Amino acid sequence: DVKVTQSSRYLVKRTGEKVFLECVQDMDHENMFWYRQDPGLGLRLIYFSYDVKMKEKGDIPEGYSVSREKKERFSLILESASTNQTSMYLCASSLARYSNQPQHFGDGTRLSIL
Amino acid sequence: AQKVTQAQTEISVVEKEDVTLDCVYETRDTTYYLFWYKQPPSGELVFLIRRNSFDEQNEISGRYSWNFQKSTSSFNFTITASQVVDSAVYFCALSDLNQGGKLIFGQGTELSVKP
């Protein structure tokens, strides 16, 4: 089974801090994704990556950046955390760019910015 | 543009009732894929099914069944004899060849099954 592991289930940070959310997958997937989930808004794509060192903006990239130095790891960075970034963050991976295989998700990180 | 609509925000049923979750999609492409995911209270999204646009056969897996109708652009999900463990948020999603593996999600339907 595909395993997508997010570094924290719950995280509390302060406004202005630089926050790192880590995601690791163990199935040699090329694609990796970061979403945030808010009540009433569903899942919104922040950033995604099709390969090492590649990144592409999703629908709501403002205030975020990402890093993919190794194929299995995709990091989401909040450069200067703000209270409106309090949310549930979900990482996902899938096989390859045009394979249309399902995305597999991690358990999520509930991030609170105080 | 691609779009997925799950008009039912919340559904509440009593255990053993059958329940259908609706999903309507929009896409201009002839080749596309549809997915259903389950998100239990613990938070992780669990993949349930993938269906491509050329396969309109309905699928049954235990108490779960899916009805794909291209004529109405719908991909509905039915749970037969619902159980409390079915309580979750269910998401329908769409991907086509132009999306490069990205999914377009519906807003989700929160299903509550009461004993």
Q: What tens digit of pLDDT does each residue of A42-74 get?
A: 899 999 999 998 999 999 999 999 999 999 999
B8: nearest Cα among B30, B23, B18: B23
A33/B102 Cβ within 8 A: yes
Contact between A13 and A111 (Cβ < 8 Å): yes
Sign of CA dihedral A95, B95, A42, A84: positive
Gyration radius of chain A's alpha carbons: 13
Give the mutation candidate from B37, B46, B102, B105 for the A interface (greatest A CB count, under 10 A): B102
User: Is 80 exceeded by the pLDDT of residue B98?
Assistant: no
B100/A107 Cβ within 8 A: no
| Mean of all residue pLDDT scores within chain A | 94
Query: What per-residue confidence (pLDDT) applies to A41?
Result: 86
B-chain CB neighbours of A100 within 8 Å are: 33, 50, 52, 95, 97, 101
Give the mutation candidate from A103, A110, A111 for the B interface (greatest B CB count, under 10 A): A103
Amino acid at A55: K
Amino acid at A91: C
User: Is 80 exceeded by the pLDDT of residue B100?
Assistant: no
